[in-house]
A and B are shown apart, each in its own frame.
Chain A
Amino acid sequence: MLSRDQFFPHLLSQLPDQPRDLGALAFLDGKPLPKEAESWRFTDLSALQQPWSLATQPGPQPSPPPIQPPYHPIYVSNGFVDLSQLPPMIQVGIPSPEHPFADEFAALNILCTPQPVHLQVKQSPSAPLLIVYDTEPGLSSHPHLSLELAPHTELTLMEWFQGQGWTNSLTHIHLAPGSRFYHHRWQAQHREQGIHIGGTQVSQARDSQYQLVAVHRGSRLSRHSLGVISRGAGTVTDLKGLTWIGGEQISDTHSSLTLEQPHCTSRHLHKNIVQDQGHAIFWGRIHVQPGAQFSDASQSSRTLLLSPKARVDTQPQLEIQADDVKCSHGATVSELDPELIFYLQSRGIPRPEARRILIDSFAGEILRLVPANPFTSLLSL
């Protein structure tokens, strides 16, 4: 087990070239693996404290996930991006530096990524874009993608994460005025070996729409850091998350949504299903800035604990600096309702099946938002 102080230096010492981004290097300088910091205090990162090898070359092409075609695939193996099947309406551009860094892992990603990729969506493609990320065992990979939508274009992006290694990904999304982005994010890395640290940073210009359905099912340890900044008026932001874990899995969703301008609508619903000794963490903040009058924002987190050792830490919060807004937030934690189980049993449905139906229905509120949901075949408990 690598010490927390040694964690970042161990990876940086493996960099083949002198780091280009000196800002990121300075940001990371002397920092240990986070522990006490507010945004990490519930998340036990000890499963990450391994002497990872920095991935220096792509592995075999990742196997395709159980997702119905058609789609335009981009395979990312060990952080190396294969753009050979990119549709013509999406062009490769020159990435602009991203500052400031959301956290240590974002800075690490920027230093370690072999190949930052910037994609410009000039016209709406006919099929979704599917990015498949895979990291081989023992390796640490740092895929870095940014997508920029032209005004009034529309894109469906599916991100699928698999593999037994540690994926430390960063995805930046820039939405021009009137553009619409439908984002399905599935984290399905290996449940005992996989480690996932992922960042999604979204910036919305006026009248753009961003819809996210994020499903966290895999990885021994995972963290999704989601940051959305709405910089224009009249944006719509709809975030839906489902964390469904068991065994000894730890899964953390950390989200921050900032509204700067008036007449924005945002919804955030995050659900957790925790079995066995799993530990789910949800921290969510909506920040309504003084300029964001007439905004309508809500956030809620709902958790189903399925075993006495299952654990959740959940903290939805609102910070409101405008006075004429409609905002709400809340959190619930419950077990399966015994009266509901009895109702199903009284109709002849065996108890295990009754439980499964109720768990599926709890998850279904999120999962049914995804067309051709690949997880329907993985629902067995």
Chain B
Amino acid sequence: MRTETDLHDAYTTLADHAPDGTRLVIPTGRAPATRRPRRTRSLVIVAAAVGIAVPLIVVAVTRQTDESVAPAASRWAPMFGLDLPEGWHVDSRYLEPLRQRAVVYGADGQVCDVVVYHAGVFDPDRIPADRGKVTINGRQGFIVAMSDLVPDRTPGVVFPRQLVWRYDAGRWASSACSSRAGADRDKLLADELTTARAVTRHPEPLRFPLRISGLPSGWTVSSASRVFGPRMAPNPPEVALELRPSSSASTSPVPAAPRPLSRPVVTVYFWPRAWPVQQPRSTPLTINGHSAWLWHEPPGATPQGMATAGILFMVNDTTIGVDASGWLVDVDATLRQIASALQFASDPADQSTWFDSVDALP
């Protein structure tokens, strides 16, 4: 039979195992802001590199579904850091309205995707009750098989299991590693555990070479990304900011849709070297005091992009003129408005002049 002294001793033991509280956020300053209205979500595009500076805006055609977003007041503030083992490195970071991601390369060439979802985005009811449990940094995690958590869907790439865990109150995180066929399943799971346990609550700022202010009505930033590691491409962009119009974007009605409708995506790429603008096919412009060109391919067609001298470049696709609701986007005017909304760092080649994500993104 136990005694009350045993109970008291047990409580002392339990209290001695209490977290130190350093991971908590202590409110300071003015009262916390209330939630903003829900906004639109989108997909990710990206690429990157190093060196001198040149942003590029690309317009791609992508089917998009309207999904609700629950952004916090600091939606663009990085939510997590990574303290990776030796030999591992962060390839890229992505900020999105619903989640934040990092792509991590392991010492053996494995690729892992770490995601922290904003509160309420990840539905834990998806986790089957009989899933294996693990502990991730003191939090309960589960071994699952959810293909949508996998970063690389290339044929021949295997991703048998993934990890999800409770990151903090209301927020969940996932870790998914992939490798070519033949990979040891247990090794992949071990890599996922390594990656998950490297996630910290001490994020470093994510900086961008330009600040966006005054986008065309209804357009929002749907993804902002930085690439840090070397890529296969010889001259990949270092930064990509993806913009999409919501249904309230300023567009014009189209009586009869000429083709299956989709919404435009404009991506601002920031290249380390000047983009080779094809001068003969370009229309010279001046944007925010910078020389710029509208680029037509073929000549005379809807502009495919826009570039400034060593600074800005936009590419477009002639099929983007119609969005999902049957409204025509004025490509020329839209590209000019977006270009006008970009404020560049004083010296884009000097990262110390770049803007923190919270300042850079609207």
Chain B associates with chain A: no
